Amino acid sequence: MKLDCKAIRYLSKDDWRTLVAVEMGMKNHEYVPVSLICNIANLRYGGGKKSINNIHKFKLLFHDARKYDGYKLTYLGYDYLGLKALVSRDIISFVGNQIGVGKESDIYVVANDKNEEMILKLHRLGRVSFKTIKNNRDYLQHRKSASWLYLSRLSALKEFAYMKALYDNGFPVPQPIDCNRHCIVMTRVKGYPLTQIVELRHPRKVYSDLMNLIVRLANYGLIHGDFNEFNIMISDDEEITLIDFPQMVSTSHLNAEYYFDRDVNCIRSYFEKRFNFIGEQYPKFSDYKQSLYNLDVLISASGFTKDLQKDMDDLTKEQDDDDENEENSGDEQTSTTNENESKDNKDNEDEDDDEEEEEDEEDDDEEDDEDVDEEEEEDEKVDNGQMKKKDDGVKEITKNMKGLVNNNRNFKFSDVNEYEPAPIVLRKEFIDEMNVLENVQAEPVVEEDVILDEEALEAERKREQQVRIANRVKKQLTKSQKTRVSARNTAKSRSRTEVKNHINAFI
Ligand SMILES: Nc1ncnc2c1ncn2[C@@H]1O[C@H](COP(=O)(O)OP(=O)(O)OP(=O)(O)O)[C@@H](O)[C@H]1O
């Protein structure tokens, strides 16, 4: 994400108040209602709304009005708040180019009034998932709604605390300068990431420096956990600096030995692969001197307490679970789309059937209607032609239909092509109707030259019904065997009568 700070100079005092109000409101709202923003910012509704519109224009806020008029901070908005605080503390005055991008951070060069270069690291946890937070989570208790921003803040605070503790104890890490929200300011390391180094003049020295660093960290009760070529910088003098330590664990951790060995092996295998250097000597977990120093206390003193760590772990787990659920539901959606395709198709086609039935009825009623859609007229012509060909009697048609019904259970829309038209699917009531029809046909039709009594009337009625259904079935059969699958949800595909009736309903 690009950090465009140009707008900072155009924001008024009220705009900043509003931005802070949104941040505060997000502690218990995913989207903060306008009235609440105005309340927190202590602005009148009109003034508040004006400021909201202004900062929304600069993309510092995200607007959602599906359930109520609400806003939330974007990462850019959060960046602005962090930058504003750092600027007002005279820590930074200029923001330069982006020089690095990590999985969960953006790195910028910044400078102060004295033109001293520094590094600004903006933590961006869940930068992908942030976009996919469920749309229906509009109001939440606790801080869950703002948790990506909150998690980024915790992550920055943690890094700052570790950096400070390590720096104060003489470890080769950048000097931490300041931290606000999800922003960390530190000194710029003169060097290159180990991953970019093609050849070392003294690989043995660098290797042993790195191994010593791992052991020294362990002596202080810490294991890096992610000690690899991406997190190590090498200067021109082949001095090492550790720049990133997101997953530090204590040597009292249950899997401490595993993490320790992993760090060691990571460096060993990298040196072997890249510099052809086989590190025959390497430290073991037992080499470290049990709790020589305790950095935990120092880290807590720097502001990152155990409570915050617990909060961070819980929230990370929550977010991961959420993401997994979302991904699963996404997968499920796709798989169920396939699995239920035939079901959906049936439903859709049922709807189509309904519509077709309605259309048929309309056609019957309005045979001479001038407003018949041209498309339908064409269909009608095709229908009539095919109807003549398929005039094999009601029984045969119903038999065909029954076959289709059974075959259609495995029908998939994706199978439809120009050679295999979409078959029709009948509703249950329709099948029942057909069964009745078959039974009726089985009965002999009594033709007597007597005055129509009740029985005759009944028979006549059934015969009419039978003819009507037969016609309808024929029509449906021929219509649905078109190669084209009609999309009936567009106004264009509706008959002119339908559209007209619809419009009339509103007049
Ligand atoms: N203090 C610094 N001085 C100079 N360059 C730095 C500094 N900090 C970070 N960088 C540059 O930014 C890049 C990314 O930094 P960093 O590893 O801290 O980000 P990250 O998000 O933690 O990365 P990842 O999690 O992907 O390892 C580094 O490879 C390095 O080139």
Residues 167 and 199 in one domain: no
Residues 10-42 have pLDDT tens digits of 899 999 999 999 999 998 888 999 999 999 999
307 lies in some domain = no
Q: Give the model's pLDDT for residue 357.
A: 44
Q: With a 6 A CB cut-off, is 209 part of the ligand 1 pocket?
A: no
Residue 493 above 50 pLDDT? yes
pLDDT band at 350 (very low <50, low <70, confident <90, very high): very low
Residues 198 and 263 in one domain: yes
Residues 12 and 39 in one domain: yes
Residues 403-431 have pLDDT tens digits of 444 444 454 545 555 555 554 555 555 55
Q: What is the pTM of this model?
A: 0.62
Residues 266 and 129 in one domain: no
305 lies in some domain = no
Residues 425 and 465 in one domain: no
Q: Which among 243, 267, 299 is the end of a domain?
A: 299
Alpha helices in 302-427 (DSSP H): 306-339, 341-365, 374-389, 394-407
Q: Which among 187, 212, 234 is the end of a domain?
A: 187
Q: Comparing 88-102, 361-375, 380-394, which segment has the lowest mean pLDDT?
A: 361-375
Q: With a 6 A CB cut-off, is 104 part of the ligand 1 pocket?
A: yes
Give me the number of domains the chain comprises: 4
* List of long-range contacts for 198-201, beta carbons under 8 Å, 24+ apart: 198/274, 199/275, 200/234, 200/238, 200/275, 201/238
SS3 state at 428: helix
Of 69, 178, 226, 350, the active-site residue reads: 226
Residues 144 and 213 in one domain: no
pLDDT band at 465 (very low <50, low <70, confident <90, very high): confident
Whole-angstrom distance between the N-terminal and C-terminal Cα of the chain? 50
Best probe residue, ligand 1, of 233, 235, 248, 266 (max atoms within 8 Å of C-beta): 233
- Are the beta carbons of 92 and 120 closer than 8 angstroms? yes
329 lies in some domain = no
Q: How many angstroms separate the alpha carbon of residue 226 from the centre of ligand 1?
A: 13
Q: Measuring from atom 11 of ligand 1, which residue has the nearest CA?
A: 100
User: In ligand 1, which atom is closest to the CA atom of 105?
Assistant: 21
357 lies in some domain = no
Residues 183 and 292 in one domain: no
Q: Which of 117, 97, 123, 124 is nearest to 108 (CA)?
A: 97
Residues 27 and 175 in one domain: yes
Q: Provide the CATH number for the domain around residue 87.
A: 3.30.200.20
210 lies in some domain = yes
Q: With a 6 A CB cut-off, is 216 part of the ligand 1 pocket?
A: no
Residues 254 and 285 in one domain: yes
Q: Decide if 365 is catalytic.
A: no
Q: Which of 197, 199, 172 is nearest to 187 (CA)?
A: 172
Q: Give the model's pLDDT for residue 498.
A: 74
Name the phi and psi angles at 380, rounded to 5: -60, -45
Q: Which among 263, 283, 299 is the end of a domain?
A: 299
Q: Measuring from atom 23 of ligand 1, which residue has the nearest CA?
A: 102
Domain coverage including residue 402: 392-443
Q: How many angstroms separate the alpha carbon of residue 101 from the centre of ligand 1?
A: 7
335 lies in some domain = no
Q: What's the rounded Cα separation, in Å, for the pair 380 and 155?
A: 68
Q: Provide the CATH number for the domain around residue 259.
A: 1.10.510.10
Q: How many angstroms separate the alpha carbon of residue 258 from the centre of ligand 1?
A: 25
87 lies in some domain = yes
Residues 56 and 139 in one domain: yes
Best probe residue, ligand 1, of 105, 117, 160 (max atoms within 8 Å of C-beta): 105
Residues 182 and 249 in one domain: no
384 lies in some domain = no
Q: Give the model's pLDDT for residue 197.
A: 92
Give the residue-averaged pLDDT of 101-106: 86
Residue 265 above 80 pLDDT? yes
- Are the beta carbons of 111 and 118 closer than 8 angstroms? yes
So what's the ipTM on this one? 0.95
Structure tokens at 412: 């998939």
Residues 240 and 164 in one domain: no
